[in-house]
Amino acid sequence: MELRKINIQDAHAQWEYTTALPADENGLTNPYHGVTYDEYKKLVLPALISYEHPVNMPEWFVPETYYYLWDEDRLVGEFRIRHRLTEALRNGAGHIGYSIRKGERGKGYGTEGLRRTLQIARSIVPEEEIYLRVNKDNIASQKVMLNNGAYLAGEDEAHFFMRIPKNR
């Protein structure tokens, strides 16, 4: 397995994943659902790559890096790291968002992908803990977090706020 940063060579597999990913699934949003390959190559991919070192982006925008989990030649999931917290992220989506391809769920990819993403996030994120948010009815994602050492740090009506100490 490999967690590979978004790149131009993998454009077709990344597009195929992105265009199929729902616009909003359990709070994981994707504005590019249904995008054509042409639009992806010309507009979406350059934008997503640039988010790691944003230029001309609004003040609130935090650098964000996209990674894809590969099992041999199959792209099985996406993991996004937001490099630091703002007030909105602290009380919202946190540092990491992820999804696994529908036909590949329940095989351990979510757990292993988050494990690998955390290894990278530990060296990027300045905060002492990695912040995550999950819908209360999303049992699979809660397990993915718990499998990676998360603890319950708070909740609101619809979400649990989970954290993973960086030095665990």
Ligand X SMILES: CC(C)(COP(=O)(O)OP(=O)(O)OC[C@H]1O[C@@H](n2cnc3c(N)ncnc32)[C@H](O)[C@@H]1OP(=O)(O)O)[C@@H](O)C(=O)NCCC(=O)NCCS
Helix, strand, or coil (residue 85):
coil
Residue 52 contacts residue 64 (beta carbons within 8 Å):
yes
Cβ count near 60 (within 10 Å): 9
- One-letter amino acid for residue 157 of the chain: E
The one-character DSSP state at 102 is G
Cβ(35)–Cβ(15) under 8 Å? yes
Q: Does 108 bind ligand X (CB under 6 A)?
A: yes
As a whole number of angstroms, the longest Cα–Cα distance in the chain is 43
Q: Does 29 bind ligand X (CB under 6 A)?
A: no
Residue span binding ligand X (CB under 6 A) among the ranges 3-11, 35-43, 84-92, 99-107 = 99-107
**Nearest to ligand X of 40, 131 (CB atom):** 131
Taking contact as CB under 6 A, which single stretch among the options 24-32, 39-47, 79-87, 120-128 is the one that binds ligand X? Answer: 24-32
> At 17, is the secondary structure helix, strand, or coil?
helix
Spatial distance between the Cα atoms of 98 and 77, rounded to a whole number of angstroms: 7
95, with CB counted inside 10 A (0-12, 13-18, 19+), is buried
Residue 165 binds ligand X, judged by CB under 6 A = no
CB 8 within 8 A of CB 45: yes
Minimum gap (Å) between residue 112 Cβ and ligand X = 7
51 binds ligand X (CB under 6 A): no
**Position 26 contacts ligand X (CB under 6 A):** yes
Q: Of 84, 107, 136, 168, which one interacts with ligand X (CB under 6 A)?
A: 107
Size of site (CB under 6 A) for ligand X = 22
The single residue among 17, 98, 160, 161 that binds ligand X, judged by CB under 6 A, is 98
**Site pattern 114..153 for ligand X (x: CB under 6 A):** --------------------x---xxxx-xx--x------
Site residues, ligand X (CB under 6 A): 25-28, 98-100, 105-111, 134, 138-141, 143-144, 147
